[in-house]
Amino acid sequence: MIVRRVRFLVWFMMAGAGVAWAGQLPDFARIVRENRAAVVNISSTEVMKAAIPGLGVPGHFVNPFFHGPPRGNGSAPRRFAMKSLGSGVIIGANGYILTCAHVINHAKQVIVKLANHRDYVARVIGLDTKSDVALLKIPATHLATVRIGHPSRLQVGDWVLAIGAPFGFENSATAGIVSAVGRNLPGSDYVPFIQTDVPINPGNSGGPLFNTRGQVVGINSQIYSRTGGFMGLSFAIPINLAIRISHDLKVSGHVPWSWLGVTIQNVTRKLAVSFDLRKPYGALISEVLPGSPAARSRLQAGDIIVRYDGHPITRASDLPPLVGFTPAGTPAYLKIIRNGHPETLSVVVGALPEALPAAYTRPPRKPHDNTSLGLALRDLTGHERRALGVTQGVFVEGVSHGPGAKAGIVPGDVILSLVGRPTASVPAFMAILAHVLPQHPVPVLIHRDGRSMFLALSK
């Protein structure tokens, strides 16, 4: 009898705990009920000459909006009409709608369908491919709108909810949690994405991401997929960034991005040790582009930017949005760490040019073996230096097992400096290496695919 009572008490306590936990879940039904009228379905038609790649490509970032892409049969390219589906969110009662640029880019006609099933032909106010934000306008008034939240208050683990039209199924709601914040993706340097595990599929692009207060905190933009469908990795544009960009689009039809002209990377734990930092933080400059605003300042490769105009830089992705919205011609004050010592300097930011230097290829030459690091090195020719746009360096012809491979050096890299000292030739590299202490990571600057980056090398 006593055993039965104990078991019943344990079951009752567990059940009670379960009820209490369930009571803490967000009221998703309320969020959908209060906001579904402000979410729209967007369809557009674009005349194409060939099938669009992306969906179904293994391990690629995908803009999930294409519906039923044509299958190629190996014949010559032909013209066809590609219909795309997407979502949007009403931010102005007078007809202004936010969506993703890739949903309506190159579209011949954009149709917006409201939750009450009324259709409108939308006018494209402007779009910005760098941020993937677009602003539309429909001839309607007294529309339902959403409340804007604060993405900066999001924490990993927070509940979030998306409303959109996956595969054309309008006003579908999906939920999940925030997986990461400030995520930097290839080709989207100016956007610190919100990563979630909210199920996002073709047709969700441009739709809103809500917090538990029913406020929009992001615009769903991309997924990472090996199949073209949802695999647990979704990315949203922070709403404060999207709203700011929409203002520029409304005023001038474009976004006047600014730049410094530097290539940056995160400071890893090993790189922090190699640069004598107490912890990994900041944006490490691996390259200063010729003719850029940074080249006209005192910035140099190896500097670690830890503060920009009073804003702390914790990771590399923190810097581009701050620089991007700084008006061109304005001086910005940077706190950097150089050779282990803090310094403050100013840089006059410039307008981002339309085209940046392209990557170069490297012709193979006879290598010089360096078995102690597992690297096959050789000197660069004058022609190669001009083609690569570098003044010095040694070419990595081959990599075998050893410290070089562990550091991440690959064949085709050009080693520009070691411990901050230029490597003009293989003998110069070997002379510097001779003074490197065993087992202590040191920074090595390499040039790869037209860009430079630091690695931590242990002898």
Active site residue: 87, 128, 131, 132, which one? 132
* Phi, psi at 372, each rounded to 5°: -65, -30
**If 0-12 CB within 10 Å is exposed, 13-18 middle and 19+ buried, where does residue 401 land?**
exposed
Largest CA distance in the chain: 92
Closest CA to 348 of 364, 335, 334, 329: 329
Could you tell me which residues come within 8 angstroms of residue 280 by beta carbon, excluding any fewer than 6 positions away? 266, 267, 268, 269, 271, 272
Question: Nearest 10 degrees: CA dihedral of 162, 164, 170, 173?
Answer: -10
82 with 48: CB under 8 angstroms? yes
**Count of C-beta atoms within a 10 Å radius of residue 67:** 18
Active site residue: 102, 189, 234, 452, which one? 102
Active site residue: 84, 87, 205, 417, which one? 205
Closest CA to 297 of 307, 310, 288, 286: 288
Q: Helices (DSSP H) in 220-318: which residue ranges?
A: 239-252, 269-274
d(CA 179, CA 109): 36
d(CA 11, CA 116): 47
How many residues are present in the chain?
459
Could you tell me which residues come within 8 angstroms of residue 70 by beta carbon, excluding any fewer than 6 positions away? 51, 80, 82
Helix (H) or strand (E) holding 4: helix 2-23
d(CA 72, CA 356): 33
**If 0-12 CB within 10 Å is exposed, 13-18 middle and 19+ buried, where does residue 240 land?**
middle
Written as one string, the DSSP assignment of 7-65 is HHHHHHHHHHHHHHHHHTS--HHHHHHHHGGGEEEEEEEEEESSPPP-TT-TTEEE-TT
Distance of CA 220 to the CA centre of its chain: 13
Both tokens assigned to 12: 């009752």
**Annotation marks residue 102 as catalytic:** yes
| Residues catalogued as catalytic | 102, 132, 205
